[in-house]
Structure 1
Amino acid sequence: MTALNKRTYTLEELAAHVQGEWVGDNEHVLSGVGTLSAASVQQISFLTNPKYKPQLKDTQAGAVIVHDKMRDDVSGNALVVENPHAAFARIAQLFDTTPPVASGIADTAVVAASANVGSGVSLGEHVIIEDNVVLGDNVSIGANTVVRKGTHIGESSTIHPNVTIYHEVKIGKRVCIHSQTVIGAAGFGYANDKGTWLPIPQTGSVQIGDDSQIGASSSIDRGAMEDTIIGKNVIIDNQVQVGHNCIIGDHSCICGTTGIAGSCHIGKYVILGGGCGVNGHISICDNVQVTGYTMIVQDITEPGVYSSGQPAMKNREWRKNAVRLKQIDSLYDRVKALEKAN
């Protein structure tokens, strides 16, 4: 890909950026992205889902990103690529107007004398950097974030405002952590002595690999004795709980409000849909996709798609099914009796 650093681009420049082929007016200027139904002539859109194909005939988009098999369906300018969704993501990054989380080092930031701060680091208002913290070059940390002692944050990582990172955590390069997230809090470890819960000190830590993204209001607990490990290029949505000593393999995706109990081992390229629950000490092999609101109570050893959530249906149908479910035991007994009679 070419390196671009401006706010408007010709179709030909964008094609070069994503190694695609332009069709139509190569000099057409684009300054943003939009949906097929709402984009203007200055915006570029994309099509991957055939459901939205009918919108092509009425779109006002200045160009549309499509796969080669759909190039003839676009009457105007097109950008033809192998993976339209990925190309759209790379182009959208060029037009991103999200402000930086910090610029320079604020006067109210508190940095311990023993901290090692790289070049180009930005710290927002009231950031606290404790003893022996290491911040790589070009790290940006938003206002009111606390980084506790001994933590390492790799170069070009972005920590949004109001994040808490506990002690001795290791965060890789180009990691993004969104607001209200807590990394390295004590794992849920207790022993019961005659009805009284005794906390077990959690002496492990958390490791987060390069290029991972952690959503807002998520929690990743530190390990009890060994580390909780998040691999490279793992994406974790908002309000996700990762228990102590979990291992999540490279390139996996954990969607919102999923809860993963302690000591789970999740492989590479795993996708857990929103609202999933994973029992403790579960192993999931590589290349597994789990649909939303599924409860995983045993190991998954074969790649594939797994489900257990109840899809929505009309209330009247659901009520009938609920009644029939209650009748299963008696129906089973009747069938067994008939089998014996025959």
Structure 2
Amino acid sequence: MEKTLQELAEYIGGTVVGDPLIKIRGIMGIDEAQEGDITFISNDKYTKKIHLTHASAIIVSPKLKEIKKNLLVCNNPYLAFAKLVELMIYKKPTYAKGVDNSSKISKTATIGQDVSIQAYVHIGENTRIGNRVVLHPCVYIGDHCAIGDDTIIYPNAVIYHDTVIGQRVTIHSNTVIGSCGFGYAPDGQSYYKIPQVGITVIEDDVDIGANTTINRAALGETIIRKGTKIDSQVVISHNVEIGENSLIVSQVGIAGTAKIGKHVTLAGGVGIVGHIKIGDNVTVGGRSGVASDIPDNEIYLGAPALPIQRMRRCYVIIEKLPEMKEYIKTLEKRIEKLEASWKNLD
């Protein structure tokens, strides 16, 4: 698909600086872009590359509009990039409607209209599948589940019994939802397994990556609120609640009964202990360990996680520890000499 820069600006609601009639045929990263491509800058660290790229045009924020290049200026370059990829490159997959003969569907299950249920799918007793749902090969859905309209579940995903999944949810391959939480009571010699009799609820417009596990509640609900996006290889334990429109990045682990607010970002590798509360609009930096409550509107970093400005000061000290150790040794020797001289005076 070929568009003029002006046409692209009109599509995303941006402004052209430079030649509005230049032809754009593709979208590429700033290093790979060639003539005919449009690229974007959404991170300041790439600004130095703006004069090196071979792209015919660049999507930038208003603060870069004075650069002598063909520019598409908008307030959110990353969002504009996503919309243009969808316009010019992305082809929404289509699925053959119907139920594959190899699938095993309970007679008590309810199946909506225009579904695509592919090879070797299992659907349990009294489970309801909504309209236009796509179940890829080898998806397992247990008894008494509900799958909302327009949801897509990719191959080999497992949905345990009594799980509720909303509309327009995407669940990627090998993810497990509704498995038992890790709950054991010590009896003095061994551990007695606590029955996990709650459910798991995934609200509308949630995306869940591959190889992620979301446990059912011991009692009550484990719940992922609407609009939240969960990356691959995440573990969410029993009775966790994650608020609306949060971002949970790869390799995050959230222990049981933790409450995560809305618009929270947990960066890669973050660990959250159980029974704590993280407020709304919080960001926790990568590889951090959160062991206590975090109030609203904070940025935390480190293990244990601390407010980011305080942790940055700690990092500065950590870098100087070898020199500080040597300096302390010299001070100790000087003190020993002073003490020895005082004893001689006595």
Whether 1:274 and 2:295 are equivalent positions in the alignment is: no
The Cα shift of 1:228 comes to: 0.3
Query: What does residue 3 of structure 1 align with?
Result: none
Q: Give CA-to-partner distance per residue, 1:225-275, whole Å, 9 cap, x none.
A: 111010111111111110000000011111111111000001111111111
Q: 1:232 aligns to what SS in structure 2?
A: coil
Q: 2:65 aligns to what SS in structure 1?
A: helix
Matches within 5 A, 1:147-186: 147-186=141-180
**Using the alignment, how far apart are the partners of 2:3 and 2:75 within structure 1?**
21
Whether 1:90 and 2:90 are equivalent positions in the alignment is: no
**Using the alignment, how far apart are the partners of 2:129 and 2:21 within structure 1?**
43
Amino acid at match of 2:197: T
TM-score, L = length of structure 1: 0.83
**Cα distance change on mapping 1:324 and 1:303 into 2, 3 Å:** farther
Matches within 5 A, 1:291-306: 291-306=285-300
Structure number with bigger Rg:
2
The Cα shift of 1:96 comes to: 5.0
RMSD between aligned alpha carbons? 2.9
Matches within 5 A, 1:58-73: 58-73=52-67
Q: Give CA-to-partner distance per residue, 1:4-51, whole Å, 9 cap, x none.
A: xxx554434433332223444545444432111211334321112222
Contact 1:257–1:275, Cα closer than 8 Å, also in 2:
yes
Whether 1:79 and 2:92 are equivalent positions in the alignment is: no
Q: 2:50 aligns to what SS in structure 1?
A: helix
Whether 1:117 and 2:111 are equivalent positions in the alignment is: yes
Whether 1:198 and 2:192 are equivalent positions in the alignment is: yes
Unaligned runs of 5+ residues in structure 2 are 305-311, 340-346
Matches within 5 A, 1:235-254: 235-254=229-248
Whether 1:18 and 2:12 are equivalent positions in the alignment is: yes
Moved more, 40-49 or 287-296: 40-49
Q: 1:73 aligns to what SS in structure 2?
A: coil
Contact 2:18–2:69, Cα closer than 8 Å, also in 1:
no
The Cα shift of 1:318 comes to: 9.3
**Using the alignment, how far apart are the partners of 2:43 and 2:288 within structure 1?**
25
Percent identity over paired residues: 37
**Cα distance change on mapping 1:220 and 1:74 into 2, 3 Å:** farther
Amino acid at match of 2:5: L
TM-score, L = length of structure 2: 0.83
**Cα distance change on mapping 1:13 and 1:171 into 2, 3 Å:** farther
Matches within 5 A, 1:329-340: none
